[in-house]
Amino acid sequence: MTATGQVLIRNIDQTPRSPVQMDGVKGASMAVMVGRKDGAPHFALRQFAVEPGGHTPRHRHDYEHEVYVVSGKGTVFLGGRDNQIRTGDVIYVPANEEHQFRVGQDAGEPLRFLCMVPVEQNCGGLVPGS
């Protein structure tokens, strides 16, 4: 149960995403699957979709996050280089590590991933209206 005493079940395919609107983003959208507004006391779980030819901003922040690739393929800039990623991969992004998710123009489908961060950060600045 959540802190408000409510059970929460959401389907990733039925939760609407909003475009990520910030400098350095192209073709990325996201939704908070579980977060502060749901009464989550410690972590926020977000889903992202990056369209073919799109990318998240190259950025860093002072907290870690964990990522699970739900579908698609692309690259993550992490550890000072581009790393290939695909469905089923798990990525650990340490605090203060520069990172960016990219999808090639010819990918054929969006890269979809779940990302968990501390609820205090809720969305790392990547969510409109969080």
29 to each of 8, 22, 120, 128, how far by Cα in Å? Answer: 22, 11, 21, 10
Domains and CATH numbers, the chain: 17-118 (2.60.120.10)
- 66-95 mean pLDDT: 98
Question: Contact 24/77 with Cβ under 8 angstroms?
Answer: no
Mean pLDDT (the chain, rounded): 90
Per-residue pLDDT of 3-57, as tens digits, reads: 456 889 999 999 999 999 889 999 999 999 999 999 999 999 999 999 999 999 9
Give the burial string for 32-53 (b: 16+ CB within 10 Å, else e): bbbbbebebeebbbbbbbbbbe
